[in-house]
Amino acid sequence: MIPIRPNVLGMEPYVQGKPIEEVKRELGLTRVVKLASNENPFGPSPKAVAAIQEAASTMHLYPDGGAYALKQAISSKFDIATNQIMVGNGSDELIHLLGLITLDKPTDELMMCNPGFARYDASAHLAPCRLVKIPVDSKHVQDLEAMADAVNENTRIIYLANPNNPTGTIVRRNAVDRFLDRVPESVVVVLDEAYYEFAMHHPEFPTSLEYIKAGRENVVGLRTMSKAQGLAGLRIGYGFASTTIVDAINRAREPFNVSRLAQVAAIAALEDDEHVRKTVEHNRRGLELLAGVFAEVGAEPGESFANFMYADFHRPTRPIYQALLQRGVITRPGDLLGNPNCLRVSIGTQEEMDIFVEELRNVTTPAVAK
Ligand SMILES: *Cc1c(COP(=O)(O)O)cnc(C)c1O
């Protein structure tokens, strides 16, 4: 018998949103739309695609392990020093690394909300630590007072996804200010801003950069190119933190953790404001459409500041998910997200959204009506 670490055996393998090709093959369907993984309906930034095409012939060379040019681009865009910037193979990798540099003993605690983002769970399982999950409030918002109450001398790292995945809600500046005042400065507080571009225009949306620039040494900001920039398949994320944390990440990471092509694409995508603007604009209309149809079929749409909507059906959504799947619409059922009564649906193209609306009506309306 090979003695695998018990923490690892306790992990659930990640269940990915079903790939379109698999659903077509298994169900014999020709038309399948996927609204399960919060991908960009407009595809990748065209500037990023062009940059990759140009750089493709240099892929025999190792990437710049220090990501000099990319960090310069991030530095000038967000006005922060390059030694306060980290880059990763998706922000998932940065989450993994943050666990590696902070969690040391079985009594150490990683705190997150429930339902929350699954990679935080995974990070906790890979380290010797205790995972503490604090339920969101009745409006699906992270309960920062309850989280601050739960902090103790063992708390090492706290994740606040802002907006939160899967609920789509944000925590506002006042609440985050108060929270940071209550949490000791020795506790790392990660503001995971994977959906930053979709929420940044809200006047009460606080960015990690505000706190980091004000000198909060324990705050980490995480961003990704997977959502608004449409580079999920390339795997590129970045983050901001104090030099102490960035230095630790640089020691722990693989030397070539971000590929050459990902680096050039990321630089190009950072300059492509037009692609992001178009994406965010379309997203706003998509959220309105979804809020309307969820209410129409008797579900309660959550307030979303991301590129997906989380709706409470007040009954298990697995059958609805299954029925939609049979009709070629892939969504994310709540039992995979930490709340069996909810369904998460990403904003797709107009055509995909129209199909979703039609099929949701079909699967939630009693058949006798037709
Ligand atoms: C999508 C997502 C990420 C990870 O994105 P990467 O593709 O790994 O960069 C991180 N956090 C949250 C909350 C997300 O939804």
Q: Which of 19, 36, 37, 24 is nearest to 326 (CA)?
A: 24
CA–CA dist 142, 189 (Å, integer)? 14
Measured on CA atoms in the order 199, 205, 210, 216, is the torsion positive or negative?
negative
| Residue nearest ligand 1's atom 12 by CA | 194
What's the pLDDT band for 13 if we cut at 50, 70, 90? confident
Instruction: DSSP letter for 19, please.
Output: P
What's the pLDDT band for 367 if we cut at 50, 70, 90? low
| Residue nearest ligand 1's atom 1 by CA | 194
Share of the chain above pLDDT 70, in %: 99
**pLDDT tens across 113-141, in order?**
999 999 999 999 998 899 999 999 999 99
| Ligand 1 center to 76 CA (angstroms) | 23
| Ligand 1 center to 245 CA (angstroms) | 20
CB 180 within 8 A of CB 151: no
Q: Is residue 315 scored above 70 in pLDDT? A: yes
Question: What pLDDT, on the 0 to 100 scale, is given for residue 369?
Answer: 47
CA–CA dist 326, 332 (Å, integer)? 14
Protein residues with CB under 6 Å of any ligand 1 atom? 90-92, 117, 161, 165, 192, 194, 224, 226, 232, 237
Q: Which amino acid is located at 61 in the chain?
A: L
Question: What pLDDT, on the 0 to 100 scale, is given for residue 370?
Answer: 45
| Ligand 1 center to 204 CA (angstroms) | 22
| Ligand 1 center to 163 CA (angstroms) | 11
Question: What pLDDT, on the 0 to 100 scale, is given for residue 17?
Answer: 78
Please give the angle made by the CA atoms of 172, 170 and 234, to the nearest 5 degrees.
130
| Residue where the block lists tokens 């992990």 | 11
| Residue nearest ligand 1's atom 2 by CA | 194
Orientation angle between helical segments 20-27 and 318-326, nearest 10 degrees = 80
**pLDDT tens across 31-90, in order?**
999 999 999 999 999 999 999 999 999 999 999 999 999 999 999 999 999 999 999 999
What's the pLDDT band for 11 if we cut at 50, 70, 90? confident
Q: Which atom of ligand 1 is nearest to the CA of 91?
A: 9
Q: How is the beta sheet containing 300-301 ordered, strand by strand?
A: 300-301, 308-312, 342-346, 332-333
Q: Classify strands 188-192 and 155-161 as parallel, antiparallel or unpaired.
A: parallel
Share of the chain above pLDDT 90, in %: 93
| Ligand 1 center to 123 CA (angstroms) | 13
Question: What pLDDT, on the 0 to 100 scale, is given for residue 7?
Answer: 85
| Residue nearest ligand 1's atom 5 by CA | 91
Please give the domain boundaries of the chain with CATH numbers for all domains.
Answer: 16-44+274-365 (3.90.1150.10), 46-271 (3.40.640.10)
What's the pLDDT band for 18 if we cut at 50, 70, 90? confident
| Residue nearest ligand 1's atom 6 by CA | 90
- Please compute the mean of the pLDDT values over residues 304-314 and round it to a whole number: 97
**pLDDT tens across 270-296, in order?**
999 999 999 999 999 999 999 999 999
Question: What pLDDT, on the 0 to 100 scale, is given for residue 10?
Answer: 86
- Please compute the mean of the pLDDT values over residues 339-351 and round it to a whole number: 97
- Please compute the mean of the pLDDT values over residues 217-226 and round it to a whole number: 98
| Ligand 1 center to 135 CA (angstroms) | 20
| pTM: predicted TM-score of the whole model, two decimal places | 0.96
What's the pLDDT band for 368 if we cut at 50, 70, 90? low
Average pLDDT along the chain = 95
